[in-house]
Amino acid sequence: MLISFSKILFKQIKFVTFAHNVGEMKMSLIETFKQFYGKIISCCRLQRGGSINLLFAGFKILDATKDMLRGYEIHEISNPPNPDELLSKNLHDAYLFINNTPESTLKMAQLKNIVSRARKNVGISIIVVGDETAFTHGQDGQAILHIQVADGESADESVSKSVKKLRETMGRFAGNSAKTRQLRMEVLKIAFSDLNVLILGETGTGKTLLARIIHDVGPRKNENFVGLNSATIPISLIESELFGHVRGAYTSADSTKSGMIDRADKGHMFFDEIAELPVNIQAKLLQVVEDGTYNILGDSTPKKVDVKFISATNRDPSFLRKDLFFRFSESVLEIPPLRQRKDDIPEITNVFFKENGYETKFEDFTEEVQHKLFEYHYPGNVRELQNILKRYMMTGSLEIPSFNGMKVALPQMSKRSPNVKSIIVGFTSSMIEEIRRDGTLPKFPYIKDLLISEFESLYVDHVLKILKWDKHRAADELGISYRYLNKIILKYGLDRRVKKEN
């Protein structure tokens, strides 16, 4: 504990000192150390395990588990169990491990009684070690997680290995900031709920990664995880891809094909960019969520499935039907943008280098480079940071993009700009006066359509050039969907390949 504290203290003071030396830290020294003190306190709580309680019932030995969970508060249920032991108001955010192996020190009736009492406390999540068939999921959707015990392995060893694997899985969403740690705790709670999950976050924050982690730590981890990016599949094919089709369902349906919903049975169906789904498909999905049935295209016989949905969007979820939104958002996670959790940058960098086989670490960068990485605003979030690191791996130099000093204003920013309206009003007045010189004024519908088409073409083309034809980011900056951006590109022939040929 003292060693970890010393390392954090040294790194934090080193960064604060450097930031003040260059004169770019806007807050006062007092405010800086207030933040620093908060981080230290937060870190110490994390090292001790915070307020999380770990309860163990039926375990004779817990040596390996205690070693793996060093610093956390571990409580062993007495034998025989105390009836009031699991009804304490202080057991919020508690995890109860039930040893249901032949080596358990408690009988089945005792274990069942413990589980029954634990469910009366909404703060307790249950993990069964060994045979879980005797324990059913709660009626409120509260799931029971299961830890398998390998041959020749003790329950203690199995728990220790599972905790280690869980840490590795959760660690894939890198970061040590308070917001990221809180997000990981929410994911862990969701693992015990088996609910439909909606993930909100800007482009590049890691929504797909988080969806995969939710699947990998939950009760459906041994079943299929089927993903669909709703913005990349043509509208005409979405229904067939999701629900499947029988032979002859449409002209090119030469054979029967199962859909993604069928392949996700017993597992998770993940919708990336869920707000891009056509309304008619949303209506069909509502039936799947409500009663677990759907129809294959060309077949009127309902098919039954057991599937849970994880969906993600970087847009206002109001684009979804309200009835579907409320069913898809039984649990909601919001990933903060990287600019709001810059404390995560060192660990994200280290994990990225490690995954790509490099021994380089964030700490190996010069103080100047570290400062640049902390100061950049990352409009593309973690994905943009990874792109910067990729270029570093290829070129050996760290280049922070500047877009030649030009920046596209976000939609909400342009609404607050006092200059935009005056520019448009002045331009429109000049245009009308110029047209009147010919002695005639065009019909209103004609001039309106002409203005809109010219504006769409020129403005979108301009933004695409600034962002070097990164269409996903262009759609975000313009405040429109990826699919609608592609429609504009096709409508006005803006595709850069077409321009080169001409």
Question: Do you know the residue count of the chain?
Answer: 502
Fold agreement (53-169, 171-334) = yes
Angle between helices 482-491 and 444-466 (to 10 degrees): 110
Fold (topology level) of 171-334: Rossmann fold (3.40.50)
Q: Specify whether the CB–CB gap between 114 and 98 falls below 8 A.
A: yes
> SS3 helix, strand, coil % of the chain, rounded to 5?
50, 10, 35
Q: What is the dihedral of CA 327, 309, 216, 133, to 10 degrees?
A: 80
- β pairing state of 124-130 and 94-100: parallel
35 near 343, Cβ under 8 Å?
no
Angle at 466 between CA 465 and CA 467, to 5 degrees: 90
DSSP state of 297: B
SS3 state of residue 300: coil
- DSSP letters, 232-278, are TS-HHHHHHHHH-B-TTSSTT--S-B--HHHHTTTSEEEEETGGGS-
Write the DSSP symbol of residue 279. H
Strands 197-200 and 331-334 come out as parallel
For the stretch 57-97, pLDDT in tens is 999 999 999 999 887 888 888 887 776 666 555 566 788 99
Task: Work out the burial of residue 313: count CB atoms within 10 Å of its CB; fewer than 13 is exposed, 13-18 middle, 19 or more buried.
Answer: buried
pLDDT value of residue 402: 57
| Structural element, H or E, at residue 304 | strand 302-304
What does the block give as tokens for 26?
A: 């806007």
Tell me the CATH architecture of domain 427-501. Orthogonal Bundle (1.10)
Helix (H, G, I), strand (E, B) or coil at 362: helix
CA dihedral (390, 391, 397, 399) in degrees, to 10, reads -110
- Indicate the domain borders of the chain: 2-48, 53-169, 171-334, 342-401, 427-501
Please check whether residue 245 is in contact with residue 296, taking contact to mean a CB–CB distance below 8 angstroms: yes
The rounded distance, in Å, linking the Cα atoms of 241 and 233 is 9
Distance between CA 297 and CA 281 in Å, rounded? 12
CA–CA distance from 265 to each of 191, 207, 218, 289, 329 (Å)?
18, 22, 15, 12, 20
User: What is the DSSP secondary-structure string of 105-129?
Assistant: SS-HHHHHHHHHHHTTSTTEEEEEE
Amino acid occupying residue 432: I
CA distance 502 to 500: 5
Annotation: CATH topology of 342-401: Helicase, Ruva Protein; domain 3 (1.10.8)
Locate tokens 């405010």: which residue? 31
Q: Please state whether beta strands 268-272 and 225-229 pair in parallel, antiparallel, or not at all (unpaired).
A: parallel
CATH architecture under which domain 53-169 falls: 3-Layer(aba) Sandwich (3.40)
d(C-alpha 33, C-alpha 210), whole Å: 32
**pLDDT tens per residue across all 502 residues of the chain:** 333 333 343 344 334 333 334 333 333 334 433 343 344 333 333 333 345 788 999 999 999 999 998 878 888 888 877 766 665 555 667 889 999 999 999 999 999 888 888 887 767 889 999 988 878 766 555 678 889 999 899 999 999 999 999 999 999 999 999 999 999 999 988 888 889 999 999 999 999 999 999 999 988 999 999 999 988 888 878 888 899 888 877 777 778 888 999 999 999 999 998 988 888 889 899 999 999 999 888 888 899 999 999 999 988 777 788 899 999 999 999 999 999 999 999 999 999 999 988 888 999 888 888 888 998 999 999 999 999 999 888 887 777 775 444 343 333 333 344 466 667 777 777 778 777 777 777 888 888 888 888 888 888 988 888 888 888 888 888 877 777 788 888 888 886 654 444 4
